Amino acid sequence: MAMTVRLPEDLDAKLDEIARARHTSKHAVIIEAAERFANSESKTTRVMTLADGIIDRYADVMKRLEDA
C-alpha cells in the first residue's frame, strides 16, 4: 500500500543519518521502526489484558493483603 508521510525536518535528517550509517534506505528504516512499534503495542495490549484478568481473579486476595 502506498502512503505519503510528512516528517519534520529534524526527524527526516535523523532518519537520513541512520539510513546512511546502515547502508539502507529511509523507507527500510521507517518500515523497521513501524514493525517494532506495532509489535510493542501488541505486547503491551496483551500484558494489560492479562493484568486485568489477574486483578479480577485475585481481587479478594489483594484486598486482604491491603488490609493486613
Residue with cell 525536518: 9
pLDDT tens for each residue of the chain, 68 residues long = 888 989 999 999 999 999 999 999 999 999 999 999 998 888 888 888 888 888 888 888 888 888 77
- What's the helix, strand, coil split of the chain in %, to 5? 80, 0, 20
C-alpha cell at 19: 539510513
Of 43, 42, 14, 45, the C-alpha closest to 30 is 14
pLDDT confidence of residue 7: 95
Model's pTM, two decimal places? 0.62
